[in-house]
Amino acid sequence: MKHSENQYRRREFLKRLGLAAPLILAAPGCAGMGRATRAKELSADVVVIGGGMGGCAAALAAARNGLTVIMTEETDWIGGQVTQQAVPPDENRWIETIGATASYQAFRTGIRDYYRKNYPLTDEARAKKFFNPGNSWVTAIGGEPRVALAVLNEMLAPFVAKGQVRILLWHKATAATTSGDRVAAVQVRDLGSGHDLILHAPYFLDATEQGDLLPLTKTEYAIGAEAKSETGEMHAKEQAEPDNLQGFTLCFAMDYLAGEDHTLAKPRDYDYWRAFTMSTSAQKNYHVLTFDERDSKKIGFDPGARKGFWTYRRIADRDQFKPGFYPGDITIVNWPQNDYSFGQICDVSEAEAQKHIERAKQMSLSLLYWLQTEVPRPDGGAGWKGLRLRPDVVGTQDGLAKYPYIREGRRIKAEFTVLEEHVTTAERMRLTGLKKEEVRALPFADTVGIGHYAMDLHITTRGDHSNFGGTLPFQIPLGALIPRRVENLLPAAKDLGVTHLTNGCYRLHPVEWNVGEAAGALAAYCTAQKKSPRQVRNRPELLADFQKLLSKDGVRLEWPKDLVMK
């Protein structure tokens, strides 16, 4: 009876997330660490906890270099930001040529090829070398989450087929055991059956969205905003604020069918969010984008004319497909108006996290209802009744993404931490005395990849005003992937050694992928050479050898010296 009750509660928990719990047959004799009944145990050369962008890249890199891999994922979709969170890729301006690893570019090519093979494109769209399914202006490859999911599964398929990679969907890390400065095992729970597995490996990679393995393994980590006395950063806080994190977003997909009425039932919290205004700590009475006429003009939202924020994160431009295939464009809503910054979901109780996730869902649904019923239209009317929520696009029952779009969580305390002064244009100019067209990001001798994105900091849980600061094309230092103490755990997503500030430019899709790919390759190299990650970084001959391996695998280690900044 107790097991049935636990299973029921887990299914209800998944329903609240908008997830449909899978039907999984219970395996006898499964239990968690420390229970009387011994849990089932599995082993691999490397265990990757988290199946997001970094996790997939890590699994591919490790498998490509000969390791066996177990990768876990909390939901039923791998892909993280680009699939379960429904966020089209945020990328740099050189992404089509030199701006990412070869495997990330293969992923992007795979998306375009998938459309060409399976979708009824117009001849003009099919002929475009850099086909952008949504013709969005935030990304050069805005497509449906299911397409990205299909491509990731296709990339992993050969390794899965021969048993080299095993993917455990609906599994969440719940405990770990350590021995000295090493992680010995991680326990994961099947969210469908409630059964536990104990996973063993010489190396564990944390590719979760919020650095979940760090507290479980007692790995030292940072969270929130650091004090200036700790980092020395020009724009760090005078006092540490561990509860000061960027907000998260419950994204959703919608299309527009003129002349039809798809208005939602009024969301429970609509009146609250409709009347909501706030100020930020950075600017008294600064108006945060909310639901009123000023904001409708700012975003220029017009699904009828198909312009403004309608095209911002559009993932299907119906004009690029055969007539009638799409009845209307499809766009993703990940806007300032549904950024939720009114409580954190990291380092808090499950009940507290669920409270804020539910409020964030209400905020997003309220935004849609406002757009359907009250937003001022250019013709003088109000509301676009033809806006239709698309649960099928995001794969949930409630129409919201499977998982919150997480911008910031825990970060390892690393051998080396990337600071504001290493990457931002203003700080590099101040420190070097060079002109804007001459200055470069600080070069790292232990580089394991590259990236570029503005230091994009959304409004925080302490009410800090959003900040979009300029950066220079930067490198990813190996030192940021090595914990100060723990020897066999590596960050493989957004949990590398960055600060609250530099997380803002190291958290985007291609950079997360590169971090995961470097971590997976490092685990493979260390296994083959019988050396530790710390030894690889601190011995010049090992570092140079590892960097050769990365280069051979298509990981770009530096930007061209003659790169032109505009």
Q: Which of 133, 172, 58, 79 is nearest to 401 (CA)?
A: 79
Three state DSSP letters for 361-403? HHHHHHHHHHHHHCCECCCCCECCCCEEECHHHHCCCCCECCC
Residue 449: burial class (beta carbons within 10 Å; 0-12, 13-18, 19+):
buried
In this prediction, residue 562 carries a pLDDT of: 87
Alpha-carbon distances, residue 510 vs 100, 347, 513 (angstroms): 6, 26, 5
Residues 439 and 428: beta-carbon distance below 8 Å: yes
> Residue 45's closest CA among 177, 215, 166?
166
Q: Is 130 exposed, middle or buried (0-12, 13-18, 19+ CB in 10 A)?
A: exposed
Give the number of C-alpha atoms closer than 13 A to the C-alpha of residue 368, restricted to the C-beta side. 31
**71 near 48, Cβ under 8 Å?**
yes
So what's the pLDDT on residue 13?
45
Token pair listed for 138:
């935030």
> Which residue from 554, 552, 519, 553 is spatially nearest to 537, judged by alpha carbons?
519
Q: What is the 3-state secondary structure (H, E, C) of 409-474?
A: CCEECECCCECHHHHEHHHHHHHHCCCCCCCCCCCCCCEEEEECCCEEECCECCCCCCEEECECCE
pLDDT of residue 296: 56
Q: Which domains does the chain have, with CATH numbers?
A: 2-216 (3.50.50.60), 223-245+410-552 (no CATH), 248-394 (no CATH)
Using DSSP, state whether 241 is helix, strand or coil. strand
DSSP letters, 96-112, are TTTSS-HHHHHHHHHHH
Whether 466 and 458 have beta carbons less than 8 Å apart is answered as yes
pLDDT at 170: 98
- Reduce the DSSP state of residue 551 to 3 states and report it: helix
User: Measuring CA to CA, how many Å separate 183 from each of 206, 218, 443?
Assistant: 12, 9, 32
CA 77 to chain centre: 13
Q: How far apart are CA 411 and CA 390, in angstroms?
A: 34
Q: For each of the chain's 566 residues, which pLDDT tens digit applies?
A: 344 444 444 454 455 444 443 322 222 223 334 444 578 999 999 999 999 999 999 999 999 999 999 999 999 999 999 999 999 999 999 999 999 999 999 999 999 999 999 999 999 999 999 999 999 998 999 999 999 999 999 999 999 999 999 999 999 999 999 999 999 999 999 999 999 999 999 999 999 999 999 999 999 999 999 999 999 999 999 999 999 999 999 999 999 999 999 999 999 999 999 888 766 555 444 445 566 656 556 667 889 889 888 999 999 999 999 999 999 999 999 998 899 999 999 999 999 999 999 999 999 999 999 999 999 888 889 999 999 999 999 999 999 999 999 999 999 999 999 999 999 999 999 999 999 989 999 999 999 999 999 999 998 999 888 888 899 999 999 999 999 999 999 999 999 999 999 999 999 999 999 999 999 999 999 999 999 999 999 999 999 999 999 999 999 999 999 887 76
Q: What pLDDT, on a 0 to 100 scale, did the predictor assign at position 6? A: 45
In which element (H, E) is residue 190 found? strand 182-190
Buried b (16+ CB within 10 A) or exposed e, 161-175: eeebbbbbbbbbbeb
- Reading the block at residue 21, the tokens are 């719990």
Tokens encoding 397: 């029952």
Q: What's the rounded Cα separation, in Å, for the pair 466 and 246? A: 9
The neighbour count for residue 16, using CB atoms within 10 Å, is 12
Cα(473)–Cα(560) distance, rounded to whole angstroms?
A: 10
Please give the angle made by the CA atoms of 55, 223 and 273, to the nearest 5 degrees: 90
At 518, list the tokens: 């470097």
Long-range CB contact pairs, 231-239, < 8 A, 24+:
231/417, 231/419, 231/420, 231/499, 232/419, 232/421, 233/419, 233/420, 233/421, 233/499, 233/501, 234/420, 234/421, 234/427, 235/420, 235/501, 236/420, 236/499, 236/500, 236/501
CA distance 210 to 189: 17
